[in-house]
Structure 1
Amino acid sequence: MDAKPAPFIPPAPKPRTKPPSTLQMMRIVYKNPLELWGEPSYNEKWISISTGIGGPLVIANDPRLIRHVLVDNARNYKMARVRQKILRPILRDGLLTAEGQVWRRSRKAMAPVFTPRHIHGFAAPMLARSEAFATRYEDNAGPVDIARDMTMLTYDILAETLFSGEIAGEPDNFARQVDHLFETMGRVDPLDLLGAPDWLPRFTRIRGRKTMAFFRQIVAETMAMRKQRMADDPDGVPNDFLTLLLRAEGPDGLGAAEIEDNIITFIGAGHETTARALGWTLYCLAEATWERDRVEAEIDAVLAAEPDPAAWLDKMPATRAAFEEAMRLYPPAASISREAVEPDRFEDLEIVKGAQIQVMPWTIHRHRKLWDQPEAFLPERFLPQNRERIDRYQYLPFGAGPRVCIGASFAMQEAVIALGVLLSRYRFDTVAGTRPWPVQKLTTQPEGGLPMRVSRR
């Protein structure tokens, strides 16, 4: 019998063995926050420190503490200041950044779109867009950047499902603008870490203003197009996410600015997390060919017997497991930040008012007390027979609590359908010498992209 191959260990920063100076810390946080975390973050239940540049900081790794902060006592924890300073200039009062009544209004308005019935109804257009996208590889000769391609695919799916294909602008230009947006406005600015007043210009974001204006213009044109169609043909307008938001406008619903902000949130960021996770999944499978063989065999069997893509998620456990394991190793959202509104206590941990709480999926997903071989790509840990060993609050690709990602089920279905189509037709192999480096820029992105060769199976 052949010996089981050693698991693939994807590239990632090594834990730091000594704390950085304040200057080093600011430089690391700006360049790549994933390189900041030291050995204690991967071994301890929690760490409470005084950073010297932003007040007390608690790094929460214990699933029970995470539940306390995000669920049981969620009312005492608001969005952290530094996180809001990064995201609010982009998303304003979109679902990811809004708080209080504004957030509740938006969440309530969007909820009907993300019910299981609606999500299953999205399966057919997800399949159609994935099949149309896959044709680009028919005559492909050289390497392609799979990271960029997955951004395009998930944009196509989002545009078709939530906006019925009616988003203004050109998709290719859109992908370039997303990259520039995250490169500029999607980074922590050193002035934010220092608590500098808002009126001081953040030079890291000045470069992104033109890109931000591009997105706002796309949204304005998209809204105008749909409003005109609603006026001209109220019975024929698609009952999608865009129409739902526009119909929610009014004194008892959403304001016009809130609608615009939520459209920006979904167009600019709603597809990006799934795109990153798909890219990392294809990369890990290309390096762990024995895992890829298992996934390909499963996909072939299911596609031969099950024409309904809405059923694939439940019938492709190995494919789903590979995607979930890629999200463990490369969580699309690598950090969840909160701030204590009032003093709090968890066991022997004192949390002072104003303390910054960092729930880090990046370190929690690689924590040595929570996972066996945490640095290895082992999809089997997410197979149905093994899932019960994973605590709900040690695996957080979509967050948890009241602010859990509203599109989590949408993203899981989308990912399995996309992988089913792509891997049934093509084999994805890494280019010699490719060793992508994960960098945190809002999402966990591969520095330099994911150059891969795509060939017919």
Structure 2
Amino acid sequence: MDMRPEPFVPPAPVPRTVPPSRLEIIRTVLRNPLELWGEPSYTLPWIDTKFFQERTLIINDPGLIRHVLVDNATNYEMSEIRQLILRPILRDGLLTAEGQVWKRSRKAMAPVFTPRHAKGFAGQMLAKSEEYAEKYADVGSSGRVHDVSVDMTELAFAILSETLFSGDIVSETSNFSDDVDQLLHRMGRVDPMDLLRAPPWVPRITRIGGQRVLEKFREIVRKTMEHRNAKIAANPADVPQDFLTLLLQQAGPDGLTLDEIEDNILTFIGAGHETTARALAWTLYCVAQSPHIRQVMEEEVDRVLDGGPEPVEWLEQMPNVRAAFEEALRLYPPAPSINRAAIKDDSWTSPDGKTVEIRAGTTALVMPWTLHRHELYWEKPRAFMPERFLPENRGKISRFQYLPFGAGPRVCIGATFAMQEAVIALAVLMRRYRFDVTPQTDPWPVQKLTTQPRNGLPMRVTVRS
């Protein structure tokens, strides 16, 4: 008899049973796109439909996903609506650049994010996590309530600043998480003009309030670039060979323009740490609701840390901590949608002989949000069950049914970096503290640029006895 308790089912929109009207679609997309999807999106391998008179193919089948994102990726460009939302923020950053600009940027950054190089950041990740953990040092056994959504944003920013920029980001971090929230609330959301495919020069009313924060971020980037360039000019031998220096060294007629460098630095300061921060917060929340899982994780953390291995080894030596983070990424994927548009007519045939015709101009919508909760591919898809990702079970998961970092040529360049950062941060925090829900802990997932908890994540932090 299985004596394990029933797994925790964290909050998420219930699939719609009745198709929404056109007006409901507009309202829902503006409020929270995660609430739009109906039962077919969680039960069928693909859905051929229309969205505002444009043909849209919603794709859940792993084979079809592979076809679009990998095997025939050259036939699929970034969709127009995605670019209308993101390009005003990131311009020609790695997430939004296309063509030769994207190729130059990806090539320039690749050396920093090789697995070997990413492992070299482990010591800095550990130092910054331990430094941040001191924030909770005086909570005592009675504890104190913190919004861990805010805290994890601050921690992830501290790690990113130290590892990729050697602490040289010219910013006051005291209100940095508030600035990120404002930027994503105002800028990283769908505007009615986006749905109507209005050209970029048409004002987006919902984003007017975000321009000030966006300019503040760009000013931070410009000052950071100026500060580092001054160091390079004064004493090149004494300049850290980090991500920032590497990008600046790519400036020139055969490399990146200064505007492209600015865009990529902004991308990593903003979106680069935001995704990890959200996933860390969701992990702490789900673990707090699963005491038996937390106990296993704490025992694993204590055993590994007592053994004294270098932090670069933690990712492999803490499979339960890693699995909890990966399960949180499944339930709350930081990037809940991947949008492409077919350039030419295309088709794909499933192993059972069913053919999907994809006409030029069709939006191919891969939704990690629905894919990760899909009834065809997951047991108890809405439940928090980290054991799915333990080494003995990983073989059951198709490469293309789990896409927290995307896939294909545009797969997240920082995936290894993020996984290592998450395990180190969780281990440091869980070694010393416990995070528990309170009566005020009432998160609701909302899709903006990332999957964010509406109402934040207030949790009681106490010292482990």
Query: TM-score range with shorter-chain normalisation?
Result: over 0.9
Q: Does 1:279 align with 2:281?
A: yes
Give the conservation status (yes or no) of the 8 Å contact 2:144–2:462: no
SS at structure 2 position matched to 1:350: strand
Give the conservation status (yes or no) of the 8 Å contact 2:442–2:455: no
Give the conservation status (yes or no) of the 8 Å contact 2:279–2:332: yes
Measured against aligned partners, the alpha-carbon deviations of 1:145-171 in whole angstroms (never above 9, x if no partner) come to 000000000000000000000000111
TM-score (normalised: structure 2):
0.97
**CA apart distance, 1:199:** 2.8
Other-structure match for 2:403? 396
1:386-425 equivalence runs, <5 A: 386-425=393-432
Q: Does 1:202 align with 2:201?
A: no
SS at structure 1 position matched to 2:238: coil
- Out of 418, 441, 451, the residue aligned to residue 434 of structure 1 is 441
**CA apart distance, 1:379:** 0.3
**CA apart distance, 1:113:** 0.5
Q: Does 1:268 align with 2:231?
A: no
Give the conservation status (yes or no) of the 8 Å contact 1:215–1:264: yes
SS at structure 2 position matched to 1:57: strand
**Aligned residue identity for 2:137:** E
Matches of 2:238 and 2:286, distance apart in 1: 44
Matches of 2:239 and 2:199, distance apart in 1: 46
Matches of 1:426 and 1:434, distance apart in 2: 18
Measured against aligned partners, the alpha-carbon deviations of 1:236-282 in whole angstroms (never above 9, x if no partner) come to 10000000000011111111110000000000110000000000000
1:121-200 equivalence runs, <5 A: 121-140=120-139, 141-200=143-202
**CA apart distance, 1:11:** 0.6
Measured against aligned partners, the alpha-carbon deviations of 1:395-436 in whole angstroms (never above 9, x if no partner) come to 000000000000000000000000010000001101125231
TM-score (normalised: structure 1):
0.99
Other-structure match for 2:25? 25
Q: Does 1:449 align with 2:456?
A: yes
Measured against aligned partners, the alpha-carbon deviations of 1:38-57 in whole angstroms (never above 9, x if no partner) come to 00000001001112x25101
Other-structure match for 1:85? 84
Give the conservation status (yes or no) of the 8 Å contact 2:161–2:168: yes
Q: Does 1:44 align with 2:76?
A: no
The 10-residue stretch of structure 1 (247-256 or 196-205) with the greater mean CA deviation from structure 2: 196-205
Matches of 1:188 and 1:343, distance apart in 2: 28
Other-structure match for 2:352? none
Give the conservation status (yes or no) of the 8 Å contact 2:46–2:59: yes
Runs of 4+ more than 6 Å apart: none
Other-structure match for 1:96? 95
Matches of 1:54 and 1:278, distance apart in 2: 38
Measured against aligned partners, the alpha-carbon deviations of 1:330-380 in whole angstroms (never above 9, x if no partner) come to 001100000011111112211111111110000000000000000110000
Give the conservation status (yes or no) of the 8 Å contact 1:186–1:441: yes
**Aligned residue identity for 2:416:** S
Other-structure match for 2:382? 375
Matches of 2:47 and 2:249, distance apart in 1: 46
1:285-300 equivalence runs, <5 A: 285-300=287-302
Matches of 1:198 and 1:456, distance apart in 2: 51
**Aligned residue identity for 1:443:** T
Matches of 1:306 and 1:74, distance apart in 2: 44
Matches of 1:117 and 1:223, distance apart in 2: 26
Uncovered stretches (5+) of structure 1, i.e. residues with no partner: none
Matches of 2:2 and 2:395, distance apart in 1: 29
Identity of paired residues, percent? 63
Uncovered stretches (5+) of structure 2, i.e. residues with no partner: 350-354
**Aligned residue identity for 1:48:** D
Measured against aligned partners, the alpha-carbon deviations of 1:77-101 in whole angstroms (never above 9, x if no partner) come to 0001010001000000000000011
**Aligned residue identity for 1:148:** V
Matches of 1:88 and 1:360, distance apart in 2: 20
**Aligned residue identity for 2:449:** L
**Aligned residue identity for 2:138:** D
**CA apart distance, 1:205:** 1.2
Alpha-carbon RMSD across the aligned residues, in angstroms, is 1.0
